[in-house]
Amino acid sequence: MSGPVLVTGAAGRIGTWLRGGLPERGWAVRCLDVVPVTDVRPGEEHLVADITDLAAMVDATEGASAVVHMAGISGESTWPAISHANIEGTYCVLEAARRSGVPRVVLASSNHATGYTPRPDGGLLREVDAPPRPDTYYGVAKVTMEALGSLYVDRYGLDVVCLRIGSAFPEPTSTRQLSTWLSPADTVSLVDAALKAPSPGFSVVWGVSNNTRRWWDLTAAQALGYEPADDAEVYAEALIEVHGEPDLGDPVHGRVGGEYTLPEFDAENFEKP
Ligand SMILES: NC(=O)c1ccc[n+]([C@@H]2O[C@H](COP(=O)([O-])OP(=O)(O)OC[C@H]3O[C@@H](n4cnc5c(N)ncnc54)[C@H](O)[C@@H]3O)[C@@H](O)[C@H]2O)c1
């Protein structure tokens, strides 16, 4: 497929990894963010736009072969902020893709779409066994993102792959992340697979590395072509020395959304003063 991949949120953490990794896998990248990307690389196209501006997004998607939608508020916030950037914004991205004839959209969903889902008694948790169970307004927006994606597949025939990303950090920073970490290299590999998979239709997959302690099933992601290479276990000894062995009875380790399910993540604590 010719035409660049439009990466929204290109100035953010994951956007920056994708700008580095996708060209190595043969993708030309068109970058979009509401703030300018400061370290422009050769071959990149750049747009500064707000994803909630539908007209700007129609222009931005023109001629693109796919959209990788990473832009938005990447954690809990107030309802007005989340619903605008993450729900209205995702609608504009999908609607712009449809109007511009872009056949595929990869959406940055999150484990927090299913955050209150308990850890199974053994075995791995499949996506189909984790229906919407958001832990925050942020999680509600990710549920809505998946629902919008499903609508645009069934009604308009797009291919939409939703990545329920775990913890995408340069390296794991907590013992929970020994299970949920998604490494920078594996992030690129997962997005590349979501872009290349033949006719995925509507697909929802976990986004984690091949962590020894992971309890989210990667069968569906691997069926798309994802080949995870990293394992958070190499950081286990150092993290456990500082934080202690994970207590699986603690909600931080016993629920998909971890600490987001705790009382301190109530949106009231995110109201601006
Ligand atoms: N990093 C993680 O661990 C993780 C986990 C689960 C899901 N996700 C999702 O992945 C995506 C990327 O995460 P990240 O860690 O790179 O986040 P980030 O906060 O580093 O980057 C988000 C980018 O989106 C841009 N943005 C925000 N609102 C915008 C708007 N209205 N229009 C255009 N651009 C806008 C910001 O300027 C920022 O550059 C997010 O949707 C996030 O919810 C991330």
CA dist 49 and 60 (Å) reads: 8
How many angstroms separate the alpha carbon of residue 73 from the centre of ligand 1? 6
CA dist 126 and 224 (Å) reads: 15
Say if CB 102 and CB 1 are below 8 A apart: no
- Is the CB–ligand 1 distance for residue 71 below 6 Å? yes
Extract the residue ranges of the chain whose pLDDT is less than 70: 1, 272-273
Pocket-testing residue among 70, 109, 136, 143, ligand 1, by greatest number of atoms within 8 A of Cβ: 70
| Catalytic annotation present for 152 | no
Tell me the CATH number at 46.
Answer: 3.40.50.720
**131-178 pLDDT tens trace:** 999 999 999 999 999 999 999 999 999 999 999 999 999 999 999 999
- Is the CB–ligand 1 distance for residue 14 below 6 Å? yes
How many angstroms separate the alpha carbon of residue 244 from the centre of ligand 1? 30
Among 45, 40, 41, 37, smallest CA distance to 5 is for: 45
Tokens of 273: 């003063």
- Is the CB–ligand 1 distance for residue 165 below 6 Å? yes
Pocket-testing residue among 48, 74, 167, ligand 1, by greatest number of atoms within 8 A of Cβ: 74
- Is the CB–ligand 1 distance for residue 4 below 6 Å? no
pTM above 0.75, yes or no: yes
Query: Could you give the angle at the alpha carbon of 164 between the alpha carbons of 214 and 14, nearest 5°?
Result: 100
The torsion angles phi and psi of 179, rounded to 5 degrees, stand at: -95, -35
Within its chain, how far is the Cα of 24 from the centroid?
A: 20
Annotated catalytic residue, options 91, 116, 137, 138? 138
pLDDT computed for residue 267 by the predictor: 87
pLDDT computed for residue 202 by the predictor: 98
pLDDT computed for residue 271 by the predictor: 75
Q: Note down the domain range covering 139.
A: 5-270
Which uninterrupted H or E stretch holds 219?
A: helix 219-224
- The count of domains in the chain is 1
pLDDT computed for residue 270 by the predictor: 85
pLDDT computed for residue 142 by the predictor: 99
How many angstroms separate the alpha carbon of residue 10 from the centre of ligand 1? 9
